[in-house]
Structure 1
Amino acid sequence: MNKAQFTAAYAQRRGRDPKDAKQDVQAFLDQLVESLADGHRVTFKGYFALRTQKRRATRTHSFGIRQVDVPEQITVKWRTGTNLRAAVQQLLADRQEAA
């Protein structure tokens, strides 16, 4: 599901005008990006947690162990919460039973 499909499904589910739904989804994404860029951890308890992390030097074992400098960049780490995992597993199980 891409952003446009998600926005359309959200609009239909909430009974919202598609343009308003598009603004809602974009506002959510903008706030998410801004919070992560400010160094904040974004947590929806039980569903997911996002945080930024600077990459660090790493080691390679290809020609003996040696330190490899990796250019510094920011990565975003996603952690799935137990509620989200359980909800997806339950929905998949329900769909298999119905089939």
Structure 2
Amino acid sequence: MNKKEFIAAFAEKGGLKLKDSEKLVNAFLETVEGALLAGNAVKFIGFGSWEIKKREAREMTSFQTGKKIKIKAKNVVKFKVGKILAEKVAK
């Protein structure tokens, strides 16, 4: 499901107009992004949580050339699924 399909499904499920649904979805995404950029985790009990983790610099071997390459340290977004959602998916 892409963003456009999600917005349509969200509008239908919530009984909203497509434009209103799009505004709400965009506001949600912007809020999550803003919280993460501010260094805060976003947690929905039972569903999951997003947080920023620092990935340390490392050295790897290129599978194509066999040469050692250096990977710079960077921040990455991690999502950890919540227990309730994990149980539903596992069924």
- Taking structure 2 as the reference length, the TM-score comes to 0.82
* Structure number having the greater helix percentage: 1
Residue in structure 1 matched with residue 80 of structure 2 by the alignment: 79
* Contact kept in structure 2, 1:49 and 1:79, CA below 8 Å: yes
* Structure number having the greater strand percentage: 2
Higher relative contact order (CA 8 A, sep 6+): 2
Q: Describe how 1:18-33 pairs up with structure 2 within 5 A.
A: 18-33=18-33
User: What letter is aligned with 1:19?
Assistant: K
Distance in 1 between residues matched to 2:17 and 2:61, nearest whole Å? 55
Greater Rg by CA: 1
Distance in 1 between residues matched to 2:70 and 2:54, nearest whole Å? 13
How many residues are aligned here?
85
The alignment's C-alpha RMSD in Å is 1.9
SS for the counterpart of 2:71 is coil
1:88 correspondence with 2:89 = yes
* Contact kept in structure 1, 2:59 and 2:71, CA below 8 Å: no
- Taking structure 1 as the reference length, the TM-score comes to 0.76
Instruction: Say which is worse superposed, 40-49 or 79-88, in terms of deviation.
Output: 79-88
For residues 60-90 of structure 1, the C-alpha deviation after alignment (integer angstroms, 9 at most, x for no partner) is 589xxxxx75313210011011111122344
For residues 16-38 of structure 1, the C-alpha deviation after alignment (integer angstroms, 9 at most, x for no partner) is 00000000000000000000011
Identity of aligned residues (%): 33
Distance in 1 between residues matched to 2:60 and 2:73, nearest whole Å? 17
User: What letter is aligned with 1:10?
Assistant: F
Residue in structure 2 matched with residue 49 of structure 1 by the alignment: 49
5+ long unaligned stretches in structure 2: 63-68
